[in-house]
Structure 1
């Protein structure tokens, strides 16, 4: 017989010798006329409590009789028969240390076990511990709740449908499983050490790359800051020179005005002195008076040096930020590339603008196009005329208000027959369906980087990193397949 079967028989036996009122092994068991057994004191307490219940309750004494707690059969007389055979069996069960406790029915006492049973329980408690609810040894294990339980818990409704096993058996299995796991862990130690070293190297690489990227950011932005600083210093220096020149002109005019005014004042004083003398030459005096009078009346006009030069507000009050931005265009690297579409690669269903900077889908194919290996014969796509095999490049594309589009780059020898599958394995690095109107594309050929941005705010959309470009890459375009959509347009720099 297996340990599981033995445990089942033990649970069944304990269940048979357990009082349904106090959920403990019978103490002085008695049998009612209905053949149900109870502890003597339990059934007496039950009936006494029943007598105290309010009229109309079923429990306890009812209609002049005594009720069985289990079957509710009513007995007219208070008669209790001792069950000697059951008492003997209970003592045997107690000697085996297999007491059973159920949740007692309301209104009953919990029968105290015998002194011998208490001693045996204390001995068991030191070995395996006791159930906190039933004070019974924890001999079983519930796999669903992953907890040790006693045999009483095992037959309760809380665990009756669970997978149960003797705790010794589970303990043995756990030990075996643990030893297997330890051996597996020992075998994995070398791999764990390698992984640990890998993560440490990654940490160092991240720190190193962070320093390098920070230096790159500082270098790239420093050029722009230097350009802005240089332009600001140039404008401020020009303003300072103009200020000094205008002040010098006004100061010279002010000095001349002061000198001439002083001279006239002296002549007026001299003339008044001559008029006060009694002896004078009337003819000469008249002439001098007339000349001085004319000069006095014409003083303001004669002394005005006509200084009208002022600050050129076209320099200092114009669109200064735009001026600086134009200067920035000279230092921005890479600058915005100038691209045109290549008609030799355009699918017949694509209509190209005269300046070859925009394209859109058309339901009517062009029939005057020569066939060639460079043309997309089935997919409505087109490449740019200019390709890149080195360096850094940036261009922008207006994709319109439709989400059905793709832009990127393609290998020079990428397959163009049939339906084109856009993937790096097929020589196409593209992005599409991003819900933006303008897309910026940045290519760093040597670094193997192709990044896409929302050109309106330069927020990143997607990046291919660590690619190994080997062929010349041509900008690739697939406009929306909706002929009513806005055309896909290259946003070239202004002339």
Structure 2
């Protein structure tokens, strides 16, 4: 398949805030495009959600998702711009930097044609306004046909200004190309069937005669209107290759179709070679074959569309895989950097310990040496006295002087004194301590990383009052729920829990990933998790995956259990104050996290979800004034 191409200048790709080529371009509800960082900063500074170009005001802060088409074009432009292309002034792009774009980048994945009134939906994908509107009209959910994101409310659709301009250029380019081809074909073939009788300049044929096997202009056709013999000829609109429309055996025009042999025949053929066969008129068989062809064409078109969508799905998967790989690499680098720092710190501490031991040894040795030197000094003095006395020859003087000899100075028994610093076991103890430290750090870092990973799928959840048990009270903003002792007088409905103190979230999910957090502070009992949309809500309910519930509970202030049917007792190091619930629909995973310590509480894995999942909450009953605190849905930064 060949595509048209268009040369694009840098100017349409400039963000009107930073005046640079788009980085992570997003489309806001009015249809204008900006860098995600630029428009976010603009709104943060102004404190109001207004388009800097058209001044449209938005009541709520729009969710910003990167526009896939714009992002791809901007990346392509930055990576391989064309410098000063040789293009005509008719292309209207006389700027300093250009990029060559393919028509394929501007095809709607629903109709497989160049965008008509292109709109950008909240997930960042683009479609013709009519196509996505019809798609949502025939489907129950407002879901993106490409990434399967589900929108709680039907998004307001505004034409994307940049993509609309580019699509218009490609449509005009296709028209010009088709016109050029038509002119060329006309020039090569003469454009029309020509009269076979005209000499010199041949005129356009008005009719073709299947009997004469010739085409005639108005002048040369006149005998067929006037001469009786020619009037009986079969005359049709002008066509080429008249011989192919005649039976070569009987020289008669093909007027019938033999269904038995699947071929065109003349009237004489029905009485000879094809006599016992089944026939129909050429026109009728044309209608039958045309209908079949249209069906085949529709099937082919459907196959093409499926494969185009598959290509988009694969490209999206590769993009998501690359994002996951980049994120995993960044997280791995962060974790290993911390671990390397810990090893370096451990080595430094070990070195310091050894050096400190050596310094202590040297200090001790220095003290011993000083003490020994002092003893030697005293002993030397005594030795001098002894020498003097020993040199006396006079017996009387020797005996008289002997008492004057000083008493021997006090000395230490140095035989058992040793200067020895043992380093045995120092390295082993340091390695063991380092191993324990690294193990704790790895667990903490991995838990922190995993919590950050799931928190990026945060969603805004509100409680559904139509499902709340009569023993529950919801706050006005539908973000808090607590139990009451006296049953409320409210109308029953099929969605409401009758006996179980439960309530569901309004938002349901049938694909993708989502995460929400609940404050459970000051509570002694609670149930949290997700439930299938079709769970039983009347009478006593056993919470288990078999019954459509994936939950964790707290009882008696300290007893935690995962209700996996049978229940799994949980031993937690600390009492969670905030619990995060994460669901990966496609992987069949429901995990619970301590949002403060990042510790994993429990994971349900290996389930095959087939129904919509809804957040489930139960503050449980009030016992003697205890457990009166509400469960509170916490606000989270949305992606």
Task: Sort the TM-score into its range (normalised by shorter chain).
Answer: 0.3 to 0.5
Higher relative contact order (CA 8 A, sep 6+): 1
TM-score, normalised on structure 2?
Answer: 0.28
TM-score, normalised on structure 1?
Answer: 0.35
Choose 1 or 2 for highest CA Rg.
1
